[in-house]
Amino acid sequence: MSTHPHLLAIATAVPDHVLRRDAVMLGAKRVFAGSAGEIDRLMPIYANAGVEQRRSCVPIEWFFEPHGWAERNRLFLDHALVLMEQASIKALAAAGLTADQVDVLITVSSSGVATPSLDARLMERLDFRRDVVRLPIFGLGCAGGVLGLGRAAAMAAGHGGAVVLLVVVELCGLTFRANDQSKSNVVATALFGDGAGAAVIGPPGGRRDAPALTAWGEFTWPQSLEVMGWRVEDDGFGVLFSQSIPQLVRERFRSAVEAFLARHNLDLGLIDRFLCHPGGAKVVTALERAMDLPEGSLEDERAVLRDYGNMSAATVLFVMQRGLGGGARGRLLVSGLGPGFSAGFLVMEQR
């Protein structure tokens, strides 16, 4: 395993504002009051989402007023960089490294737009070398954390043992549009939270406790572009969720996993633990059924969803941090689902 890149450290960061479920439900009734009584019919969504609280970069009062695209993106840039810096500093410190020892800097986000890119902006806040290789990734949505880890592992392996810093940030709350009365927008208010994660990938050195990243890959289903994503509206991103996502997971996820594992001479019987992007409570249950896991097996996923909500690409880093911190050992399969409709996979070996 010493020839593989290793996960040297992982860290997370969240903004200060806490949005609790009861307050969000009251806020939803206020915002969606004009939807001809429909919001009362949809209120069970909040109880069934599995989210008791989540973090936000803006206070709850912000969501009651209209906001334009320029304001949303300005807030995204301001708050995203703060969280990225916090997560990066913690991850580098945990790995025993400094910013100038990073060879490759990868940033992942789909909830705001940045040109210059987020990695270039982060370089103005931390002391990276000026020749660091940069890779900004946009548009992978909830699968971005896993796919970003795969890109980081590939670059670490392909650059002769390079040290790679992956930073993932999503401020999903800023995409909420009060004039959007769609069910997808209601579901988003029940699920979405803000957060960031950072991971350091590179040669293990003397770190025997660092998990080896031994395989990574992905699968995109055909004719699935409308399953999940953003619609670009005049005042920002409009959320797109298909009601069929849990069914797609139950019926199609397992075959994609098995094909990925087979390409790496593995099968499900050789996987000791799953660490999945939770998406929502129904998706977690669908993942358990697809993989023939006992109900309740994905406890770390449910705990992260409960305490932080769905932070899109960043969420899986919270699940990994919780799972590894709780003693997950053996061969671990990390997965995430996102727009495309796509699945990302990563195999870690923690002995």
Please list the active-site residues.
Answer: 142
CA distance 186 to 173: 12
Tokens for 180? 């959007």
Give CB contacts under 8 A, 24+ apart, made by 135-139: 135/104, 135/105, 135/106, 135/107, 136/106, 136/107, 137/106, 137/107, 137/108, 137/109, 138/108, 138/109, 138/110, 138/113, 139/110, 139/339
CA distances from 69 to 83, 196, 233, 235 (A): 21, 22, 9, 5
Alpha-carbon span 148 to 154, nearest angstrom: 10
β-pair partners for 106: 135, 166
DSSP-assigned letter for residue 242: -
Rounded to whole angstroms, how far apart are CA atoms 64 and 222?
38
Cα–Cα distance between 149 and 155 in angstroms, integer? 10
Helix or strand holding residue 73 (H, E)? helix 69-95
